[in-house]
């Protein structure tokens, strides 16, 4: 009887067999070029569960013919890290031109001291570090280590990728290939997987093994019956993780504190990472409230710091207070829309020259060339304001920020209209 999970049995070992992540390892993928050229840098693979992070790390080692060492952040300490680095130095860096690869799964679970212990090995090239994480490395990886690594983002599998994965499994796995399997309906399988390839294969194998005989039919009804007979209270690494945090954020954005605390309770009772919840509140405070209530960002940041300091169960109270405050706050996405428009404009217009009047002039030559000549120092003028074109000439008078129709941003709009009425388009408020 086979005991190795299906996902492990059909794990690809080459780039050609690797499905999804075409933006990284497809024909024109940025990471593929590094792999083929043999110039793989230390890197962090960031993406949801079941998107092929471990598989990709193994393929990189296989393709580059390097020794491969692996650690799990769940059960490894500084001593384990040092032992592996010593082995890697002896096996690779001192005797061959290709340094070994050290793969660390769930690197976000490493403490600061554990991450610090990796710095010298990465800096001196004793190992090429590949870390895998489901959490934002900007928050969970120390800056010194992050600066030495490239970050590559893996995306959840698309519907087409998941179907291709099922077809591949039925073809290459001996156990499945010996049966006649008909994928009559796949909506339930795909929905339950949530873009997680590992989960998809585990559920698929469960469904196949639940039916007798060698002629198997997969329907949505059969899938739901089997999965519901083995319910998960809260899958904090799968579909519910993303669905419930989505419901939580949308409830706060929609100014419903009752729904907000309900979804918060669902996550808490399910064992969700409380810092993950706090980070999402911090993002929402700026994205959905912004300058309509600047205190929201202060509240969310303080909540994040408090949750990082105070453990469960008391931190649940802090999260509840913050969620209710944000839900009952005036909303505005003006700052969020402004940076989106600005980034899009930069992509469209490229690197426009900084106007001469705004350039720094630390040398006589620069001053002679006119750097800073026309600049008007605001504090030398009435009302601490002097009309000046601060944008490049090619995009002059482009309005990127449009204040919202709430008390605080109405004040901002009035302030801007008085100074820039004939320059930028600050539309009148519509009550």
Instruction: Give just the sign of the alpha carbon dihedral 227, 232, 238, 244.
Output: positive
d(CA 46, CA 56): 12
Rounded (10°) angle between helices 53-64 and 30-37: 30
- Tokens 């067999």 -> residue: 17
Domain count, the chain: 3
Instruction: Give just the sign of the alpha carbon dihedral 364, 366, 370, 373.
Output: negative
Cα distances (angstroms) measured from residue 4 to each of 10, 173, 283? 10, 12, 40
CATH number at residue 166: 1.10.8.60
186: containing domain: 159-228
pTM: 0.60
The backbone torsions φ and ψ at residue 360, rounded to the nearest 5 degrees and listed phi first, read -75, 140
d(CA 325, CA 288): 13
Residues 203 and 116 in one domain: no
Cβ contact 100:67 at 8 Å? yes
d(CA 362, CA 371): 9
CATH number at residue 107: 3.40.50.300
Q: What is the pLDDT along the chain (431 residues), one digit of tens a residue?
A: 447 889 899 999 999 889 889 999 988 888 998 888 878 899 999 988 889 999 999 999 988 888 889 998 888 888 888 888 888 777 654 444 468 899 999 998 888 888 999 999 999 888 999 999 988 888 889 999 999 999 999 988 888 999 999 999 999 998 899 889 999 999 888 888 878 898 899 899 989 988 888 888 999 898 888 876 544 455 555 556 778 898 999 999 999 999 999 999 999 988 888 999 999 999 999 999 999 999 999 999 999 999 999 888 899 999 999 999 999 999 999 999 999 999 999 999 988 999 888 888 888 888 888 888 889 999 999 999 988 889 999 999 999 999 988 999 999 899 988 888 888 887 654 44
Residues 193 and 278 in one domain: no
Within-domain flag for 70: yes
The token pair at 203 is 């559920």
The token pair at 364 is 């006589």
Residues 122 and 206 in one domain: no
Within-domain flag for 399: no
Q: Which of 153, 179, 211 is the last residue of a domain?
A: 153
Q: Nearest 5°: CA angle at 343, between 420 and 23?
A: 170
């Amino acid at each position: 009887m086979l005991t190795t999970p299906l996902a492990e049995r059909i794990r690809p070992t080459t780039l050609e067999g690797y499905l999804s992540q075409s933006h990284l390892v497809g024909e024109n993928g940025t990471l593929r070029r590094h792999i083929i050229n043999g110039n793989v840098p230390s890197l962090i693979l960031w993406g949801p569960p079941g998107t092929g992070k471990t598989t990709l790390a193994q393929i990189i080692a296989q393709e580059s013919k390097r020794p491969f060492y692996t650690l799990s952040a769940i059960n490894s300490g500084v001593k384990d890290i040092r032992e592996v680095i010593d082995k890697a130095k002896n096996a690779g860096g001192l005797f061959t031109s290709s340094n070994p690869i050290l793969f660390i799964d769930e690197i976000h679970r490493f403490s600061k001291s554990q991450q610090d212990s990796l710095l010298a090995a990465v800096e001196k090239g004793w190992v090429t570090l590949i870390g895998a994480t489901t959490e934002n490395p900007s928050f969970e990886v120390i800056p010194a280590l992050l600066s030495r690594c490239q970050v590559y983002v893996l995306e959840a599998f698309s519907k087409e990728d998941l179907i291709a994965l099922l077809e591949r499994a039925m073809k290459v796995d001996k156990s499945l290939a010996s049966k006649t399997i008909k994928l009559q309906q796949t909506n339930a399988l795909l929905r339950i997987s949530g873009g997680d390839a590992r989960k998809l294969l585990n559920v698929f194998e469960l469904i196949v093994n639940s039916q007798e005989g060698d002629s198997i039919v997969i329907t949505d009804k059969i899938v739901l019956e089997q999965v519901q007979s083995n319910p998960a209270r809260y899958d904090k690494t799968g579909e519910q993780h993303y669905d419930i945090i989505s419901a939580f954020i949308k409830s706060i954005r929609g100014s419903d504190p009752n729904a907000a605390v309900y979804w918060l309770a669902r996550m808490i009772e399910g064992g969700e990472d409380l810092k993950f919840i706090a980070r999402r509140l911090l993002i929402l405070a700026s994205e959905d409230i912004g300058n309509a209530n600047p205190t929201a960002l202060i509240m969310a940041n303080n909540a994040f710091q408090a949750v990082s300091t105070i453990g469960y169960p008391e931190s649940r109270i802090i999260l509840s207070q913050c969620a209710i405050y944000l839900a009952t706050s005036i909303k505005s996405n003006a700052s969020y829309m402004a940076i989106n428009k600005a980034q899009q404009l930069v992509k469209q217009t490229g690197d426009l020259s900084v106007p001469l009047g705004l350039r720094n002039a630390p040398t006589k030559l620069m001053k002679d060339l006119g750097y800073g000549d026309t600049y008007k120092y605001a504090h030398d003028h009435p009302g601490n304001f002097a009309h000046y074109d601060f944008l490049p000439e090619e995009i002059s008078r482009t309005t990127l920020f449009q204040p919202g129709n709430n008390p605080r941003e109405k004040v901002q709009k009035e302030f801007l209209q008085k100074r820039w009425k004939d320059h930028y388009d600050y539309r009148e408020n519509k009550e």
